[in-house]
Amino acid sequence: MKFATHSSARLALLSALALGITGCQGTAPTIGDSNAKTAATGSAGGANSQGENKQLEKCSETLGTVAVVEDTGSIWYQELQSYNLRSTIPVLRLLIQQSNCFVVIERGAAMRNMNMERQLRDSGEMRANSNMGKGQMVAADYTMNPSITFSQKGTGGMGGILGGFGGGVLGAVAGSLKFNDASTVLTMIDNRSGVQLAAAEGSARNTDFNLFGGLAGGGAFGGLGGYTNTPEGKVLVAAFIDSYNQLVRSVRSYKAQEVKGGLGTGGRLGVQGGSTPASTEGTAAPKKSPKKKTAQ
């Protein structure tokens, strides 16, 4: 009797979900749906922005030009593929321009198109007044490097705690409650000197009550499994906003690090017998003792 009750409840819930999904198939797309947005939202045009996240830090004065470059050979970048996520650069570029702290310079895939235009100019195919002459590209003062230091699905899931529900509908629902954590780091390098100017860590957490994903595990709605990737992407975006906000707070009150004698001249940690200023300090040649006068 108990088994029949659970079976009936499972069938009823699956039927309701199936009807709901069928009804959604005919729904017209919603433009600007809030459920589809991440924490990085809105737009930017020059120094102006619209609809940006109200928690995003901003600057009244632009501090220079920056290019955002990812280490595509790193482990974290490869791990993005498992979440059906790609480059973090578009999101970061949006945040940077909305903040007005830096002017974003293209150093990514669009450079190929920029070079193609210059090749067309050099071939003589462009009109004479196209104004594609040399000396117009802007230098990137800084390079910003993003990285994901930690991201895990289900770091605090209740599936184990509520595992006594077994494989029924209640078990699927209980096992689908997950906490998605992400930790990210942004570093900024001065392109002329190679000096790291700033670094900031950020984090975010998102609770994902993934009913569809939990039920899909049994094969009933296997095609819905892709929706389980959305929370991971959203929590990563939120973590990068946290990283960027902390970086902006640091550079707004920036003070250059100083090394006595100048950067790159050997540093203050001298070694015996070395030739750097710190190594030779206090090792002046001993004074010669005065010669004794001889009696006449």
Q: For 139-177, write each residue's pLDDT tens digit.
A: 999 999 999 886 666 555 544 444 444 444 444 444 555
Span 39-43, average pLDDT: 81
* Predicted structure pTM score: 0.70
pLDDT at res. 180? 73
Does pLDDT of 219 surpass 50? no
User: Confidence class of residue 39 from pLDDT cuts 50, 70 and 90?
Assistant: confident
pLDDT at res. 41? 80
Does pLDDT of 283 surpass 90? no
User: Confidence class of residue 32 from pLDDT cuts 50, 70 and 90?
Assistant: low
pLDDT at res. 9? 59
User: Confidence class of residue 198 from pLDDT cuts 50, 70 and 90?
Assistant: very high
pLDDT at res. 229? 42
Does pLDDT of 135 surpass 80? yes
177-190 sheet: strands from edge to edge: 103-104, 65-68, 142-152, 177-190, 196-209
More confident: 213 or 205: 205
pLDDT at res. 212? 39
Span 25-44, average pLDDT: 67
**Looking at domain 44-114+137-252, does it have CATH number 3.90.550?**
no
Does pLDDT of 211 surpass 70? no
More confident: 6 or 261: 261
User: Confidence class of residue 245 from pLDDT cuts 50, 70 and 90?
Assistant: very high
Mean pLDDT for the chain overall: 77
pLDDT at res. 206? 77
User: SS3 string of the chain?
Assistant: CHHHHHHHHHHHHHHHHHHHHHHHHCCCCCCCCHHHCCCCCCEEECCEEECCCCCCCCCCCCCCEEEECCCCCCHHHHHHHHHCCCCCHHHHHHHHHHHCCCEECCCCCHHHHHHHHHHHHHHCCCCCCCCCCCCCCCCCCEEEEEEEEEEECCCCCCCCCCHHHCCCHHHHHHHCEEEEEEEEEEEEEECCCCCEEEEEEEEEEEEEECHHHHHHCCCCCHHHHHHHHHHHHHHHHHHHHHHHHHHHHHHHCCCCCCCCCCCCCCCCCCCCCCCCHHHHCCCCCCCCCCCCCCCC
3-state secondary structure of 102: coil
Span 210-222, average pLDDT: 38
